[in-house]
Structure 1
Amino acid sequence: MKVLFVGLGGIGQRHLRNIKELLGDEIEVYAFRQRKYQFVLDNKLNIKKGLNLDKHYNIKNVNSLDEAFKNNIDIVFITNPTSMHMEILMKAAENKCSIFVEKPISHNLKNVDKLVTKLNEYKNITFVGFQNRFHPCIKESKKLLEKNVIGQIVCVNIEIGENVRGWHKYEDYRKMYASRKDLGGGVILSQIHELDYIIWFLGMPKCVYAIGGKLSNLEIDVEDVASILLNYELNNKNIPVHIHEDYIQIPPSRKCKIIGTKGKIEFDLLNSTLVYYDEDGNEMLNKVYEFERNDMFKEELKVFIDAVKDKKRTIIPIEEGIKSLKMAIAIKESINKGNIINMNEI
């Protein structure tokens, strides 16, 4: 199986480590990348001394996508900056490759419809890297919501705050994709996981209103704070879902509270804890999950590879990535215009 990596920074190397562990010598690794770093990273993004990336993984480097696709590539991992995703998606689709694309699938909606047409034409297997769907807290919450244990949802509060300066130990935060407008950065797109899982839980909202922007002293040219209000129409009622995102907080915070008429669910993704209370405040479930963060990435990869081998549709195809991207674009538009944005207008 021939695998092409477009980009081998932190997330690209993580997927490379995991697929080598999963498939070993079954795969032949090609890479097309611009920065051509040769350091090797571990699961905590520390540089492993004395190792050369190309030699360590036996990588065959190519100088262009056209050169890469002459090698009859089976799978493409798109792990370069967000603003560059669409070009690679298009070419991978045309070359009938299976595609794993990191979130978000792009930084705007340009050519999205054309991409879907191509993917339908060539019947590519696609997967979007929303590894948080494999977090035990999110998986358990999804099950509880499907069982309707907390009754009708009346409100949701979500928070994701993490100081961007500490994301990558191996590079200056000011040069990261997440910090640069030209690379599709900003807290709304970079922290799109929260948008994805609320869509997975509740579907698409009716409308969006958001306030935020570049509010800190970080040396970046993208928004670093967003306070988002989503209006969900559930059971003929307007239900508020609030999402706070920032690039500032130390220590970081990543939590969710879902309140219903018969109880509530609270989870903390960083501490891997989940509590479900009934309507009288009794703890019906209190879990602390023992798992490594990389387990989510390994599980999503196995799901993707199994789908490729079985030639079946994945559980997070490109259409899921389009949903969260549309929500992100609506949020950014609301901040820029100061208006409520109806999702049917996006």
Structure 2
Amino acid sequence: MKVCVWGAGSIGTKHFNILQDNGCEVCFLSRRKLDQKHFNSLNDVLSIFNPDHIIVATETNDHEKCLQLIIEQKFKGNIFIEKPIFNKMSQLSFVTDTFKERIFVLYNIRFNRGLGLLKEIIETEGITGLTCFVGQYLPDWRKGTDYRKSYSACSEKGGGVVRDLSHEIDYTAFLAGRIKSLFSISGNCSDLEIETEDFSNIVLESENTSNITIGLNYLNKFPRRFIILNTKSNTYELDLVNNHLLKNGEKVDLKFDMAESYERQAKAILAEDYSQLCTYEEGIETLKVIEAIEVSSNDKRFINL
């Protein structure tokens, strides 16, 4: 199988290396000078490399433009877009039904073994409440780079905790069903030199429970990422930083880590098993929730979806 990775930043390079390590023939589409096989134009990629699939790993604000160019070329393979699917909702009439079936959004946490176990638990025990939290100090995210120049710091590039950390929105719907309504308080409460929001606290109702809270921030000096699931029978806590799962305070025998989730996602793509991937429609639903969070925070009101 041959895969083109469009974008040679940190996440694009991660995709490239994992796919290559799994025996896939990979190229970059990038204007950077690279040691790896790369092309400077989509036309060259399609006519010379002829990939089976394309991964779009550019900055979020470029996703829509990249997808439109791929569709204009009538590409026959599948298209995998790094999360979130787009920066903003817009006129997407160029995405026909035929292409929608072949577009997926890469939310790698769906492939975390711990999250998969929580989904299985919900199917047997039900769900009465879900608490999701992620916080990490933005200047520590990308070593050797100036956070003030990163896309995270820029609204136009798709930065801010709500878009940057939209994994929590995706896996909330993945676990608890479609989001029906929400209320959010988001903004800036730190001295970080950014134009985007550095925190967001969200209360949500889904198809399966009206007891959901999500907390996102760029502030934690030590990283935290966890999920607390209450079922009709038990309480579970999944720690996605320290890689352990607790059931009623007792550690569950389960080995997993975040790096493995990227590996498992890549293997699913290579095996053409898309059952666990975020579909185009689900990616659009997540984007609608993102925009509803922003409206709720600005207008200080509940939003029905």
Q: Report if TM-score (shorter chain) is over 0.5.
A: yes
Match of 1:167 in 2: 141
Which of 162, 184, 191 matches 1:188? 162
1:1-346 equivalences in 2 (<5 Å): 1-24=1-24, 27-33=25-31, 36=32, 54-55=34-35, 57=36, 59-62=37-40, 64-71=41-48, 72-93=50-71, 94-112=74-92, 114-117=94-97, 119-120=99-100, 124=102, 126-148=103-125, 151=126, 153-234=127-208, 239-277=210-248, 286-287=251-252, 289-307=254-272, 313-316=274-277, 317-343=279-305
Change (3 A) 1:28 1:145: closer
Partners of 1:232 and 1:127 lie apart in 2 by 22
Q: How far does residue 203 in structure 1 lie from its aligned partner after superposition?
A: 1.0
Cα shift readout 1:15-36 (whole Å, capped 9, x = no counterpart): 1100110125xx1524224xx2
Q: Offset at 1:3?
A: 2.8
Q: Give the structure-2-normalised TM-score.
A: 0.91
Q: Which has the larger radius of gyration?
A: 1
| CA displacement 1:260-313 (0-9 Å, x = unmatched) | 332211111111111223xxxxx6x62264444321111101101211xxxx65
CA deviation map 1:151-189 (0-9, x unaligned) = 5x3322211111111111132111112221111111001
Q: Is the 8 A contact 2:109 2:115 kept in 1?
A: yes
The 1-side partners of 2:87 and 2:304 are apart by: 19
Query: Structure 2 CA distance, aligned partners of 1:30 and 1:239?
Result: 44
> Where in structure 1 are there 5+ consecutive unaligned residues?
39-53, 278-282
SS at match of 1:145: helix
Q: C-alpha separation between the residues in 2 aligned to 1:328 and 1:258?
A: 22
Q: Give the number of aligned pairs.
A: 301
What is the distance in 1 between the residues matched to 2:246 and 2:257?
20
Report SS of the residue matched to 1:248. coil
Q: SS at the partner of 2:130?
A: strand
Q: Percent identity?
A: 28
AA in 2 matched with 1:246 = N
- Aligned in 2, Cα 1:216/1:287: closer, same or farther, shift over 3 Å? same
Report the secondary structure of 1:254's partner residue. strand
Instruction: Provide the residue aligned with 1:41 in structure 2.
Output: none
- 1:4 and 1:32 in contact (8 A); partners too: no
**When the two structures are superposed, what TM-score results if normalisation uses the length of structure 1?**
0.81
Which structure 2 segments of 5+ residues have no match? none
1:100 to partner: Cα distance: 1.6
Shift of 1:202: 1.2
Give yes or no for contact 1:160–1:253 (8 Å, CA) kept in 2. Answer: yes
What is the root-mean-square deviation in Å for CA atoms of aligned residues? 2.1
> Any idea what SS the aligned residue of 2:228 has?
strand
Asked whether the equivalents of residues 114 and 256 of structure 2 are also in contact (C-alpha less than 8 Å), the reply is no
